[in-house]
Amino acid sequence: MTRDTNASNAARPRAKPATARGLLKRCIDLPLSKISPAVIESWRTRRLKEGVKRCTVNRQLTSFKTAPNRAVRTWKLLPANPIADVQLDQDDTQGRVRFLKPGERGRLFEALDEHEVTVRRRRNSMNDWLIERGRRPKP
C-alpha cells in the first residue's frame, strides 16, 4: 500500500522522527547509567562529521536529554540526569547570504512602499481613535 506523504503531512504538523528512547538505542548503544557528557559530545562530533545539520543534532540532543529525566524522577534509577548540563550547539543564525536579482530589487521597494502606506493608514486610524477619546496621539 502506498501513501501520499504530501497529502498526509500537509494536514498535520511535523511529526517527531522517533522517541528519545529509540534515538538513544540507535545512536548510543550504552545503558542509561553509562551515558555521560563525554559520550554525548563524541556522538555530537561524529554526527556533525557525517554531514548531519547542526539543527538536527540539536533536536535529537534535546530528545536525548529528556530520557534520563524519567529514570531520575519516575523510576529512581539514577540520582541525577547525567547529561542535563550538556549545551546545545549554536545554530548558524546568519543564514545564507543571497543577493537580489535585477527584477527583485524593484519589487522589494514596491512592497516596502505599500507596507509603509498600510502602516501609516493604521497609525492615523489609531490616532483618530485616541483623539476622539481625549488621549494623546502616537507619533
Residue 18 has which C-alpha cell? Answer: 522517533
Report whether pLDDT(120) > 50.
yes
Mean pLDDT of 13-31: 59
Q: How far apart are CA 91 and CA 136, in angstroms?
A: 44
In this structure, of 32-36, 37-41, 43-47, the range with the lowest mean pLDDT score is 32-36
Q: If pLDDT is split at 50, 70 and 90, which confidence band does 67 have?
A: confident
pTM: 0.50
Contacts of 81 (CB under 8 A, 6+ apart): 65, 68, 69, 71, 72
Phi-psi region of 15 (alpha: psi -120 to 50; beta: other; left: phi over 0): beta
